[in-house]
Amino acid sequence: MEQRVAESKLYILYIFIAVFSASSSITTGIAWGHWKQTLDQCIGRNCSCILYGYHTPTHFLGGDLAPCIWVTFGPLFYLLFIIGLACFHGYRVIFASKNNVTRTIPSRNAEGEIVEIHAIHKDDTSPLPRTFWIITSAFTAILTLYTLIHFAIFLDGYLSTCKQYRLMVEKIVGFGGTILPVIHGRLSCNAIFDFMDYIQPDSVTSYRQGYIDTGLDLTLGLIASCSTWVLFLISSLINIGLARQQE
């Protein structure tokens, strides 16, 4: 793959990584901020997180603070660096002078003599040292694993809260019998979070300002988190390919 083509792809990938990373942080922060006062009813510890919430005989409580801090602020760890890489490759592709690549092509003329034709190709960017591609390969490979862990914790916390709130729906609605398989097996997690939005009572010390679509908000965050991981995987493979190409 020509370096200019590869840098163009990396430029686009890094832009989308930055957008999806910011989206993941923002959506999680919205849900966390909306529910933290209502869910934080533990004594002696903070349990305000919308992820890993759990049902008790008297209340529905939030999860520990750590998962929300990780999922909300984790992408900010690499966001500025990714923006820097996007600007770097974007500048080289759009504004930087192109590198002239000369190719020698042997040919035979009408008299049978062999002549050399020099072809000049101007569509490639100036070469970057192999060290640069090794460093970016290592960086993107590490962040591929980092974002996979981020997505896994986000998804697990989301599913855990969904599963626990099914028990709360069962308790608040007060139905039994044949409707229980519907609550526990047929309703999607988005539907369960819709119940949470409208029937979860506020605590005596807090009041939620209006309603949000918690299920949609967290689903968008999950999609953004998963997309970030996939894009980092692709960018890592491109960087590794360029590092090997210059051996």
SS3 per residue for 28-52: HHHHHHHHHHHHCCCCCCCCCEEEE
**What pLDDT, on the 0 to 100 scale, is given for residue 96?**
67
AA identity, residue 13: L
**What pLDDT, on the 0 to 100 scale, is given for residue 225?**
97
Q: Which residues pair with 61 in a beta bridge?
A: 54
Q: What is the DSSP letter of 204?
A: T
**What pLDDT, on the 0 to 100 scale, is given for residue 108?**
63
**What pLDDT, on the 0 to 100 scale, is given for residue 163?**
92
**What pLDDT, on the 0 to 100 scale, is given for residue 216?**
95
**What pLDDT, on the 0 to 100 scale, is given for residue 64?**
92
Residues 6+ apart with CB under 8 A from 24: 71, 75, 150, 154, 221, 224, 225, 228
Q: Which residues of the chain have pLDDT under 50?
A: none
pTM of the model: 0.83
Burial of residue 80 (number of CB atoms within 10 Å: 0-12, 13-18, 19+): exposed
Q: Give domain limits for the chain.
A: 3-97+129-245
**What pLDDT, on the 0 to 100 scale, is given for residue 127?**
73
- On whether the CB atoms of residues 188 and 214 are closer than 8 A, the answer is no
**What pLDDT, on the 0 to 100 scale, is given for residue 130?**
85
